[in-house]
A and B are shown apart, each in its own frame.
Chain A
Amino acid sequence: MFLILTALIDKPRHGYGIVQEVRQITGGRVDLRVGTLYGALDRLAAEGLVEQDRDEIESGRLRRYYRLTNAGAQALAAEANRMAADAAIAMTRLRDTTTSNGPVGPDLMGGTA
């Protein structure tokens, strides 16, 4: 859900466009399946977080574009803030642990060692 909303921030995208954008955002870590994508889009549309933008025919195929709604942008911002806060807590505790137990590795210190 989070990644799909993120993929729609800058402009409306069609289904395969969302798949590609999510793949790019995650560095290829997440490869959305079509059933997963449309299941998520259904739920997001039902909650008013995304909506259909327009239909286009490209190379004889239907492209249905989806866009982020204002409610979707707010929900995404709230979720991003929550995740950032959680991440900040995790990093703080890791630093504390590292300080008391010795270094646990450069990545946990932000990759700057």
Chain B
Amino acid sequence: MSDTLEAGYRRVLMLLPKQYWADHAEEMLGVLMDGAKPGQRRPKAREVLSVAMLAMRLRFAVGDPNRPGRMAGDIMRRAVLAYLIFGFGLLVQVDAYGGRSRYALIPVVVEASIIASLAFGWSLIGRVLCVVYAGGLIQHEHPWSYWYHVSLGDQVEILLHFLALAAAVLVFHRRAPRLPGTNWWLLSWAGITVAFWLRGKSIRYMYALDISNTPALAALICATAAIFALRHARTSPVWPAALALAGLPIRLRSRRGWIGIFGSVLLRNVLSTTPICPLSGAGGATSVAALSATWGATVTTQFSAS
């Protein structure tokens, strides 16, 4: 067996969570190398997929909510629900503005049902609705028909929407614990929805649908998210991490062009190039996490408006 093959399998095994890797990687490597055919130089795709699936199950604690991967699952569930709630706010904003003449009600009802299902712990219903909604988006929004005519940033934004739905299906699995604080989720959802609805009623042109053009609302949500994250950061990293994750799909393009996710965060926060700069002085990872969580809401604007 070649060293190349062994190195390849070692890289694949790096997908496993740290503790699991420490406990099992060597024996798994032995199994993989024993199963390799003479002269094989690259890892088999089926084995790679198998290890990747195991890694995903371990990291999201699928099938066993008491495993160490529980925290990753907790973070992902909060991140996904927060993302969906912000996305719902943007959808309501577009509808309040009058940006959608067709199918205006259906996405609102379906997204609201998804959020309610996930918040109340009805994971099966929520997951089914996510699949149905993704299918509906493909059917009615048909983004693929103009795929090559939109910018890379817009393509990423569209894919992120599907990614969020896929993530919801994955992390709100059958044995996933119900998210605590249902009332707080519902209250936040209602507040964000009302805020975005009012904003949708007040704007006069489509371009203004981008939340970064309204410093007041963005700053309000940023401040709320920052305070919330800072409060919880003392006891657990789950909430700050979840808000950071929800905010990663931030508005990717800035005035400086395509600079990538983290570059955009740094430029927009540290260098204060946007109207949200009043919060940029908060400093620290938590404030960046909270800020980026807010910007995560902007990614679906154009998609929702289309």
Contact = CB atoms under 8 A, between A and B. Distances in A.
Max chain B CB contacts within 10 Å: which of A14, A43, A62?
A62
Contacts of B50: 33-36
Contacts, number: 56
A50 to B, nearest CB: 14
Which of under 10, 10 to 19, 20 to 34, or 35 or more describes the interface residues of B?
20 to 34
A19 B63 contact: no
Nearest to B31: A15
B35 A62 contact: no
Contacts of A63: 27, 30
B41 interface: no
Contacts of A113: none
Interface stretch (B52-60, B122-130, B136-144, B222-230): B52-60
Given A15-B27, A63-B27, A33 B63 contact: no
Contact of B52 (A16, A35, A43, A61): A35
A34 B51 contact: yes
Interface string A27-55: 00000011111110001001000000000
5 shortest A-B CB distances, which residue pairs? Answer: A35-B50, A33-B50, A35-B54, A61-B30, A15-B31
19 contacts: A14-B27, A14-B31, A15-B31, A16-B30, A16-B31, A19-B35, A33-B49, A34-B28, A34-B32, A34-B51, A35-B47, A35-B53, A38-B24, A39-B54, A39-B57, A62-B29, A62-B30, A63-B30, A64-B27
Interface of A: 14-16, 19, 33-39, 43, 46, 61-64
